[in-house]
């Protein structure tokens, strides 16, 4: 049988890895797919660079629409990124009846509803394993492997750049800026690295996972997003002393009131496996009723790890494209007419525990005032750590770990504590997850 014909849009980090791995492992991949998978056409703005990667046997063009217009192409692989031209090209490819593979989490988290509806109408597949956690097959696990389960929550280190920065800052005492430059040089960071460090990339991925886990539409606009730019190295040290590590987590939880969807730095007990995921590695924990807790770990970024996921999608489509569209795995795991309208909860309604650091005057009675405010708000304290004031210092740091409480109550208590004349600087608040 003629190999399935693939058109690549964008041959940068992920596109070149995809081409390379498809070439290297073509025999093995064909034995699995039941048919060859051939890159027949590539579009990239830099035609000369693209030709240097794919050689002379593959047609290279600078206009992606020529790939979409080619009737020979069965699958269009979008590896350009962003919400701009990529969105138009994906919708045009669907309209032209092509199956689509994309690694573009930004696009799907924001415009997924429109894209999946268009694909459903046309009876084509949109596959996106590479969009979340690079090479880890977490989409497949959530959508198919865990299909028997009622998923309760998931929590993941799903941005390699920020995990790399946090690891290097903790282990080598390097500065934020220096480690970010390294992450960019290694190809982990997004074209706009603020997406990484401000938590946006992780929120894109958490949004996609929450949709698949709970059968809700993708709703990036309702996610709570906080990155790592305000983290201070002293908090990383205090957390260590208390038996915790700080990680940027993407979390989505089912509660009686709705779905929590949030990304923020988080204290995680150092003894949890996920707390020991270092460098650019990713890991996702999923808690589900039948299977219990499962953990998925691997490379979340980089050329070939991400290519591994892109090619898995190509194989899936090759196997399934002749199947009746109604018998294929739904894009977001649940049948489109069986989606839930559970609300995404505003952050004020989220329940979690907290790490607080207060820079306070080194005076008698300060601790009592602070704990009094927490007690009045019905917030129970789990642990207190007070740094001894250094010689000649008139201030000290008070670290408090709390038990779970609703965020609105904590906001109120923080506002009251901040008013105390003995609290000398803005209070640092980092959320804490026990993940048990
Ligand atoms: P790159 O920037 O390395 O590659 C994008 C390529 O697309 C470049 O070669 C670029 O050309 C080309 N391009 C830009 N505009 C067009 C256009 N209009 N027509 C054709 N080609 C175009 O990005 P990555 O490979 O890193 O990322 C691709 C996608 O994969 C993104 O959505 C990203 O978020 C996602 N992803 C990336 C991962 C990674 O580790 N890098 C991991 C998981 C997902 P030029 O350089 O000349 O502008
Ligand atoms: N910038 C992303 C990261 C790439 O650092 O995880 C993988 O999606």
Closest CA to 302 of 177, 413, 160: 160
Question: What is the predicted pLDDT for the residue at 97?
Answer: 98
Mean pLDDT of 139-153: 98
How many other β-carbons are positioned within 10 Å of the β-carbon of residue 62? 11
**Atom of ligand 2 at shortest distance to CA of 196?**
1
- Distance CA(376)–CA(368), nearest Å, equals 12
- Distance CA(436)–CA(247), nearest Å, equals 16
**Atom of ligand 2 at shortest distance to CA of 158?**
6
Per the CB < 8 A criterion, the answer to whether 263 and 173 are in contact is no
Tell whether ligand 1 has an atom less than 6 A from the beta carbon of residue 14: yes
Residue 67 has pLDDT above 90, yes or no: yes
Tell whether ligand 1 has an atom less than 6 A from the beta carbon of residue 130: yes
CATH of range 138-299; options 3.40.50.620, 3.30.360.10, 1.10.579.10, 3.90.380.10: 3.30.360.10
Question: What is the predicted pLDDT for the residue at 436?
Answer: 87
Give ranges for CATH 3.30.360.10 in the chain: 138-299
Ligand nearest to the CA of 81: 1
Residue 172 has pLDDT above 90, yes or no: no
Tell whether ligand 2 has an atom less than 6 A from the beta carbon of residue 107: no
Residue 125 has pLDDT above 80, yes or no: yes
Strands annotated E in 199-316: 224-225, 244-254, 259-269, 281-288, 292-299
- Distance CA(53)–CA(48), nearest Å, equals 9
Give ranges for CATH 3.30.70.260 in the chain: 348-432
Tell me, what DSSP letter sits at residue 69? Answer: H
Give ranges for CATH 3.40.50.720 in the chain: 4-135+303-338
Question: Phi and psi dihedrals of 432, rounded to 5?
Answer: -130, 140
Residue 388 has pLDDT above 90, yes or no: no
**10 Cα: distance to centroid of ligand 1 (angstroms):** 6
Q: Any catalytic annotation for residue 105? A: no
pLDDT in tens, 229-253: 999 888 999 999 999 999 999 999 9
Question: What is the predicted pLDDT for the residue at 204?
Answer: 98
Mean pLDDT of 295-300: 96
The active-site residue out of 205, 253, 299, 432 is 205
Using a pLDDT cut of 70, give the percent of the chain over it: 100
Question: What is the predicted pLDDT for the residue at 111?
Answer: 98
**179 Cα: distance to centroid of ligand 1 (angstroms):** 22
**300 Cα: distance to centroid of ligand 2 (angstroms):** 6
Mean pLDDT of 188-194: 85
Tell whether ligand 1 has an atom less than 6 A from the beta carbon of residue 135: no
User: Looking at 94-108, 177-191, 408-422, which range is the least confident one?
Assistant: 177-191
Q: Which residue has the tokens 């415009």?
A: 111
Residue 390 has pLDDT above 80, yes or no: no
CATH of range 4-135+303-338; options 3.20.190.10, 3.40.50.720, 3.30.1740.10, 3.40.1710.10: 3.40.50.720
Question: What is the predicted pLDDT for the residue at 227?
Answer: 97
Tell whether ligand 2 has an atom less than 6 A from the beta carbon of residue 160: yes
Per the CB < 8 A criterion, the answer to whether 298 and 305 are in contact is yes
pLDDT in tens, 404-417: 999 999 999 999 99
At residue 82, the 3 state secondary structure works out as: coil
Tell whether ligand 2 has an atom less than 6 A from the beta carbon of residue 190: yes
Q: Given its phi and psi angles, is residue 99 left (phi above 0), alpha (psi -120 to 50 degrees) or beta? A: beta
Mean pLDDT of 32-59: 97
DSSP letters, 149-212, are S-EEEEEEE--HHHHHHHHHHHHH---HHHHHHHHHHTT-S-SSTHHHHTTHHHHHHHHHHHHH
Chain mean pLDDT for the chain: 95
318: pLDDT confidence band, cut at 50, 70 and 90? very high
Question: What is the predicted pLDDT for the residue at 72?
Answer: 98
Q: pTM for the whole thing?
A: 0.96
Of 253 and 180, the structure prediction assigns the larger pLDDT to 253
In this structure, what is the dihedral angle of CA atoms 294, 298, 301, 305, given to the nearest 10 degrees? Answer: -120
Tell me, what DSSP letter sits at residue 423? Answer: B
170: pLDDT confidence band, cut at 50, 70 and 90? confident
**367 Cα: distance to centroid of ligand 2 (angstroms):** 42
Tell whether ligand 2 has an atom less than 6 A from the beta carbon of residue 161: yes
State the CATH class of domain 348-432.
Answer: alpha beta
Ligand nearest to the CA of 162: 2
The residue to mutate among 188, 200, 205, 247, having the most atoms of ligand 2 within 8 angstroms of its beta carbon, is 188
């Amino acid at each position: 049988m003629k190999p399935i014909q693939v058109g690549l849009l964008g041959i940068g980090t992920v596109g070149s890895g995809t081409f390379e791995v498809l070439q290297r492992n073509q025999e093995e991949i064909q034995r699995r797919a039941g048919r060859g998978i051939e890159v027949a056409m590539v579009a990239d703005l830099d035609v000369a660079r693209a030709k240097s990667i794919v050689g002379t046997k593959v047609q290279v063009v600078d206009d992606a629409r020529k790939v979409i217009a080619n009737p020979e192409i069965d699958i269009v692989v979008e590896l350009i990124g962003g919400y701009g031209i990529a969105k138009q090209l994906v919708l045009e490819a669907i309209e032209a009846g092509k199956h689509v593979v994309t690694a573009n989490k930004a696009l799907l988290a924001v415009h997924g509803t429109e894209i999946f509806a268009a694909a459903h109408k046309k009876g084509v597949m949109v596959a996106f394993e590479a969009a979340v956690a690079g090479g880890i097959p977490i989409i497949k696990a959530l959508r198919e492997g865990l299909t028997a389960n009622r998923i309760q929550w998931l929590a993941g280190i799903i941005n390699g750049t920020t995990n790399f920065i946090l690891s290097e800052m903790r282990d080598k005492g390097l500065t934020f800026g220096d480690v970010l430059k390294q992450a960019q040089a290694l190809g982990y960071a997004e074209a706009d690295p603020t997406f990484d460090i401000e938590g946006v990339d992780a929120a894109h991925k958490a949004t996609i996972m929450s949709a698949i886990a709970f059968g809700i539409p993708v709703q990036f606009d309702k996610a709570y997003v906080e990155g790592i730019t305000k983290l201070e190295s002293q908090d990383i040290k205090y957390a260590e002393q208390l038996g915790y590590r700080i990680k940027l987590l993407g979390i989505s939880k089912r509660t009686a009131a709705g779905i929590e969807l949030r990304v923020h730095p988080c204290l995680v007990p150092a003894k949890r496996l996920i707390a020991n995921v270092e460098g650019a590695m990713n890991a996702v924990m999923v808690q589900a009723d039948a299977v219990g807790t499962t953990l998925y770990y691997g490379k979340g970024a980089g050329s070939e790890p991400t290519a591994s996921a892109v090619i898995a999608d190509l194989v899936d489509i090759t196997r399934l494209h002749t199947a009746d569209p109604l018998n294929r795995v739904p894009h977001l795991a649940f049948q489109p007419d069986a989606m839930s309208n559970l609300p995404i909860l505003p952050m004020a309604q989220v329940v979690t525990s907290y790490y607080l650091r207060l820079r306070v005057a080194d005076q008698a009675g300060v601790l009592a005032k602070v704990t009094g405010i927490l007690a009045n708000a019905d917030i129970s304290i789990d642990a207190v750590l007070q740094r001894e004031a250094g010689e000649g210092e008139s201030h000290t740091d008070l670290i408090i770990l709390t038990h779970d409480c609703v965020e609105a109550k904590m906001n109120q208590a923080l506002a009251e504590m901040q008013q105390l004349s003995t609290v000398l600087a803005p209070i640092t608040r980092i959320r804490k997850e026990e993940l048990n």
